[in-house]
């Protein structure tokens, strides 16, 4: 016989999170969710992190999810508290990471009366979430929360929202302590394996395109085994960086409009593409013409069926788990399936210029951190492109970037979430620009409050460098609203009680990095770079 308790729905939420082994949550309190916050205050298993903006809270939850493998949870109040989460939800939706936002709503007796802080939040976010639940009675909460968790964590992962009226959060109902849901992934068909092996066997110049789906599937080990046995070369998308070691001799680089010439040429010269968890959006396809891509035999493997019909005309589209697919390939791999195709030369080092460049900063960062390989979060801009071109990611889960949405303001809170997931055992690096950093610089308070070892490296080129570069390329160099009047970032950091230094010359890079990493506290380095630098 199942034993039940009578608890408030707020307490049921907290007990369910404890059962899911969630140890950290994020949010911003308000009247509609005070019931949850009151219950959080009565226990010690789950620590709440108060970000200084609701958008940052969602990004931090995503950073936590990416690094821990768990689901990120966010609590926000009704009205502006809820609507401030939209950008974070879209980011998690496009890049496929599990975040559950529990939003308070006005008292159900006031619903539909244009009450204070009342919005139809479910209608606003239904296109950028995997599911939205509107709770109408206390009795449905426990089942709905577990259902939301299963949806967020299964298939292509993503965000789910549960909208709960303030009065229902305070009501009592039976807590049934329901069993945790399980996600059953479909088995790989032996026929699919045979078809793929036949394609590879007839290929003269195959190429593996490694996308973020390899990381989602935790299939890096199987991919490495497959490459070592077959000698097939590998290229990566930005979201796939780290899924395959960049120091491996078969790694040719990142493809796309900001990719490496060697990698793009290798893709052009291949006759078969094995596309693993890569969506081939316009940042990749714009580097090629459609005839060049469609002339190849394409095997595309993705857990999300929608990705199989969006951007590629695949000959063999497989809506299956990448890890299971690679395991099946390895179990059926003929001994003689081995390729010696690698027509391009290894990626050559760029000619080192005399002036102080962002590329030199990123190379120095790699040299300094290679031994302990920290998680690195990057904002959006020239600094991000310079990072992925000059820093080698050799293990999975070490790079946090906003891929699909390209969100300025994502990197800093994502770094905070990653640091929390690491339990502050290892420093986390943020690479940001002077523009991106000012999207959410108040989160410095969170770093100081919890003494998070986040190392913040600001590439200060006195403007919106990527947009300014586009103005040079497309609008005859007419710079309008892309020059920034900045604060003194060193003084700003110190006003939060965080130590900081400024670097203006190449010989200052390594000493500054030494100062940053010798302390277990947060640290800021401002790198002053050339505003005319391009990527």
The predicted pLDDT at position 293 comes to 81
Residue 343 lies in a domain: no
Average pLDDT for 311-323: 89
Q: Are residues 51 and 114 in the same domain?
A: yes
Percent of the chain scoring above 70 in pLDDT: 96
118 falls in which pLDDT band (50, 70, 90)?
A: confident
> Domain boundary residue among 122, 148, 175?
175
Residue 262 lies in a domain: yes
Residue 147 lies in a domain: yes
Sequence-ordered list of residues with C-beta below 8 angstroms from that of 463, at least 6 positions apart, any chain: 434, 435, 479, 482, 483, 484, 531
The predicted pLDDT at position 279 comes to 87
What digits encode the pLDDT tens for the residues 424-434? 789 999 999 99
348 falls in which pLDDT band (50, 70, 90)?
A: very low
Q: Are residues 132 and 234 in the same domain?
A: no
Q: Are residues 486 and 377 in the same domain?
A: yes
Question: Is the predicted pLDDT of residue 107 greater than 60, yes or no?
Answer: yes
Question: Is the predicted pLDDT of residue 93 greater than 80, yes or no?
Answer: yes
Question: Is the predicted pLDDT of residue 186 greater than 70, yes or no?
Answer: no
Sequence-ordered list of residues with C-beta below 8 angstroms from that of 277, at least 6 positions apart, any chain: 210, 211, 212, 213, 214, 215, 216, 217, 240, 301, 302, 303, 322
The predicted pLDDT at position 183 comes to 65
Length reported for the chain: 535
Residue 198 lies in a domain: yes
Q: Are residues 62 and 137 in the same domain?
A: yes
- Pure H helices in 176-289: 190-202, 212-216, 220-230, 261-269, 282-285
> Does residue 348 sit in helix, strand or coil?
coil
Residue 534 lies in a domain: no
Question: Is the predicted pLDDT of residue 334 greater than 80, yes or no?
Answer: yes
Q: What is the DSSP letter of 275?
A: E
Kindly report the CATH number assigned to the domain that includes residue 472.
3.40.50.970
Question: Is the predicted pLDDT of residue 71 greater than 80, yes or no?
Answer: yes
Full 3-state SS string of 157-196: CCCEEEEEEHHHHHCEEEECCCCCCCCCCCCCCHHHHHHH
Question: Is the predicted pLDDT of residue 1 greater than 60, yes or no?
Answer: no
Residue 345 lies in a domain: no
Q: Are residues 430 and 291 in the same domain?
A: no
Q: Are residues 235 and 155 in the same domain?
A: no
Percent of the chain scoring above 90 in pLDDT: 84
Q: Are residues 130 and 261 in the same domain?
A: no
Beta strands in 9-70 (DSSP E): 24-28, 47-50
> Domain boundary residue among 315, 331, 347?
331
4 falls in which pLDDT band (50, 70, 90)?
A: confident
Q: What is the DSSP letter of 250?
A: T
Give the lowest-confidence range in 93-107, 198-212, 300-314. 300-314
The predicted pLDDT at position 346 comes to 43
Residue 339 lies in a domain: no
Question: Is the predicted pLDDT of residue 161 greater than 90, yes or no?
Answer: yes
Average pLDDT for 256-262: 93
The predicted pLDDT at position 2 comes to 52
The predicted pLDDT at position 351 comes to 38
Q: How many domains does the chain have?
A: 3
What's the CA gap between 391 and 381, in Å, rounded?
16
pTM of the prediction?
Answer: 0.93
Give the lowest-confidence range in 179-193, 207-221, 249-263. 179-193
Q: Are residues 375 and 470 in the same domain?
A: yes
CA atoms within 13 A on the CB side of 427: 25
Q: Are residues 157 and 247 in the same domain?
A: no
Q: Are residues 384 and 459 in the same domain?
A: yes
The predicted pLDDT at position 102 comes to 99
Point out which residues pair with 40 in neighbouring strands. Answer: none
Q: Are residues 248 and 168 in the same domain?
A: no
Pairing type for strands 206-210 and 234-236 reads parallel
Residue 336 lies in a domain: no
Question: Is the predicted pLDDT of residue 105 greater than 90, yes or no?
Answer: yes
Question: Is the predicted pLDDT of residue 356 greater than 90, yes or no?
Answer: no
Q: How much is the mean pLDDT over the chain?
A: 93
The predicted pLDDT at position 354 comes to 45
Q: Are residues 157 and 235 in the same domain?
A: no
The helix (H) or strand (E) run that includes residue 209 is: strand 206-210
Question: Is the predicted pLDDT of residue 509 greater than 70, yes or no?
Answer: yes
The token pair at 94 is 């496009």
Which structural domain range is residue 48 located in? 5-175
């Amino acid at each position: 016989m199942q034993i039940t308790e009578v608890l408030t729905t707020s307490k049921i939420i907290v007990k369910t999170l404890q059962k899911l082994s969630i140890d950290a949550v994020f949010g911003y309190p308000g009247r509609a969710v005070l019931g949850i916050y009151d219950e959080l205050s009565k226990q010690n298993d789950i620590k709440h992190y108060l970000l200084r903006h609701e958008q940052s809270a969602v990004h931090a939850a995503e950073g936590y999810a990416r690094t821990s493998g768990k689901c990120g949870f966010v609590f926000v109040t009704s009205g502006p508290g809820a609507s401030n989460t939209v950008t974070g939800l879209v980011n998690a939706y496009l890049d496929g990471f599990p975040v559950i936002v529990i939003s308070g709503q006005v008292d159900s007796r006031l619903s539909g009366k244009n009450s204070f802080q009342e919005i139809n939040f479910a209608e606003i976010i239904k296109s950028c979430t995997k599911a939205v639940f509107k709770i109408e009675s206390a009795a449905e909460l426990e089942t709905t929360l577990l259902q939301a968790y299963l949806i967020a964590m299964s298939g292509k992962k993503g965000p789910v929202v549960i909208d709960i009226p303030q009065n229902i959060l305070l009501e009592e109902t039976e807590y049934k302590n329901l069993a945790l849901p399980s996600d059953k992934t479909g088995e790989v068909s032996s026929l699919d394996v045979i078809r793929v092996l036949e394609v590879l066997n007839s290929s003269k110049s195959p190429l593996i395109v490694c996308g973020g789906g390899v990381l989602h599937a935790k299939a890096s080990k199987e991919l490495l085994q497959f490459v070592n046995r077959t000698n097939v070369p590998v290229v990566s998308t930005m979201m796939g960086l780290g899924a395959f070691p960049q120091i491996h001799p078969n790694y040719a680089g990142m493809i796309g409009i900001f990719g490496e010439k060697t990698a793009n040429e290798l893709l052009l010269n291949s006759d078969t593409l094995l596309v693993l968890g890569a969506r081939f959006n316009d940042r990749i396809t714009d580097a090629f013409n459609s005839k060049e891509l469609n002339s190849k035999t394409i095997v595309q493997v993705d857990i999300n069926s929608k990705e199989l019909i969006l951007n590629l005309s695949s000959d063999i589209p497989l809506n299956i788990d990448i890890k299971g697919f690679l395991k099946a390939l390895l179990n059926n791999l003929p001994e003689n399936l081995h390729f010696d195709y690698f027509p391009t030369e290894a990626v050559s080092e760029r000619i080192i210029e005399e002036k102080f460049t962002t590329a030199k900063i990123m190379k120095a960062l790699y040299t300094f951190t290679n031994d302990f390989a920290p998680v690195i979060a990057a904002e959006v801009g020239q600094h991000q492109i310079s990072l992925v071109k000059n820093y080698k990611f050799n293990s999975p889960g070490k790079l946090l970037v906003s891929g699909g949405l390209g969100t300025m303001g994502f990197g800093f809170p994502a770094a905070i979430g990653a640091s929390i997931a690491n339990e502050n055992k290892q420093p986390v690096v943020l690479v940001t620009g002077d523009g991106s950093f000012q999207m959410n610089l108040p989160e410095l308070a969170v770093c100081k409050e919890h003494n998070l070892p986040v190392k913040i490296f600001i590439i200060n080129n006195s403007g919106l460098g990527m947009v300014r570069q586009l103005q040079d390329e497309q609008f005859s160099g007419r710079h309008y609203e892309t020059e920034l009047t900045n604060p003194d970032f060193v003084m700003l950091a110190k006003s939060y009680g965080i130590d900081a230094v400024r670097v203006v010359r190449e010989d200052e890079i390594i000493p500054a990095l030494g100062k940053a990493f010798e302390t277990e506290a947060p640290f800021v380095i401002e790198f002053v770079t050339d505003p005319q630098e391009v990527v």
